[in-house]
Structure 1
């Protein structure tokens, strides 16, 4: 079985040789991962869907400038992260409140209720989610991206550094700062033994 990087390289070669349909295979292979990252950055399903479309459109337009020595996944993640951050800024600038987020909170409560959680647990879970969201909002773009990639996607520091366009040590510091902000936000909820 071929390495995914080699398979990606072959698909890119085919697209650049004029086989435009081969790009669809790249989209299929990577769109779910780009969606997850976009959703975690934007915290909005509709925005994440738009980010995926914009990411692969930009990727297609820039494919002739792709460095064949690079990893396509890292390259498309970087485009996706930039698109997600742009979407988040646009939503914040417009002052829009996403209706989908309200439904998401209700879904969390329903899911917890389905697991026969008591009212105290449901309230605590809502409080934790609210504090997590606020902590994520206080993170810089690089901290938020680094945190999402490391703790939600399981990316290595080298991959995070490549997506952010920084040195691995700088990526590590961004993850550390993000975790510290999250810990400070959740600290009041910790029960002391």
Structure 2
């Protein structure tokens, strides 16, 4: 299998205007248009990848389990009854594969995904005027958020990922992980509280909106051009 991170359209979004719906794709696949399954794979790669990573599994393992999930889903597509959305159904299959893999690997723990070794915030970009600065900042913030989410208890982490990152409703999340909607909402609330504490440990309140010293020279120059 390839080891590149999955590429997909944003999983929160509905199919683009003019794109076939999940129901239409399923009907075409069952009618023999096997190639249509590619659209389903691309549509839900992002969602399944987040589920696997939130389960605490490494990138390569998640990709293997995504493949197993899609194969199992394709083979069982004729049994899909649409009592839940296709996305929720795929997530349930993915979660089952994650659980089975974790049981088998219980005596051979999966190496943890690479994370920053300390609670030090990422280094500040060296140049405030670099064209790619925003992209760099976004990547750094993403790394911090991934670290903080990974530190949540597994039950809270899964609910947070499904509700906040994948945009599932409380009902869909409850269906996906087989708990009540009340428990979904409770776990989400607790996850947010813990996540806030995690973020504060990385970025003290005093550092938020702080005017970093690296910007001072530029500000001095800008002011002196106008006085």
TM-score normalised to the size of structure 1? 0.68
For the aligned residue pairs, the C-alpha RMSD in angstroms reads 3.6
Contact persistence 1:132–1:186 (CA under 8 A): no
Matched, 1:139 2:166: no
Inter-partner Cα distance in structure 1 for 2:102 and 2:74: 22
Name the structure with the higher helix share: 1
Q: Which runs of 5+ in 2 are unaligned?
A: 1-16, 127-142, 207-227
Matched, 1:115 2:128: no
Q: Deviations over 1:34-91 (max 9, x none)?
A: 1122223234211221121111111112111101353111111221233234334444
Which of the two has higher C-alpha Rg? Answer: 2
Change (3 A) 1:49 1:9: same
Alignment of 1:30-49 (within 5 A): 30-49=44-63
The alignment partner of 2:122 has SS state of helix
Q: Which residue of 2 aligns with 1:121?
A: none
Alignment of 1:8-23 (within 5 A): 8-23=22-37
Q: Which residue of 2 aligns with 1:123?
A: none
Match of 1:163 among 176, 184, 207: 176
The alignment partner of 1:10 has SS state of helix
Q: Which residue of 1 aligns with 2:14?
A: none
Contact persistence 1:39–1:45 (CA under 8 A): yes
The alignment partner of 1:159 has SS state of helix
> Structure 1 residue 160: deviation in Å?
1.0
The alignment partner of 1:18 has SS state of coil
Q: Which runs of 5+ in 1 are unaligned?
A: 117-125
Alignment of 1:78-97 (within 5 A): 78-97=92-111
Inter-partner Cα distance in structure 1 for 2:167 and 2:181: 15
Contact persistence 2:54–2:157 (CA under 8 A): no
Count, aligned residues = 174
- Mean Cα deviation higher: 176-185 or 162-171: 176-185
- Mean Cα deviation higher: 64-73 or 170-179: 170-179
Inter-partner Cα distance in structure 1 for 2:110 and 2:37: 34
Contact persistence 1:35–1:52 (CA under 8 A): yes
Matched, 1:56 2:87: no
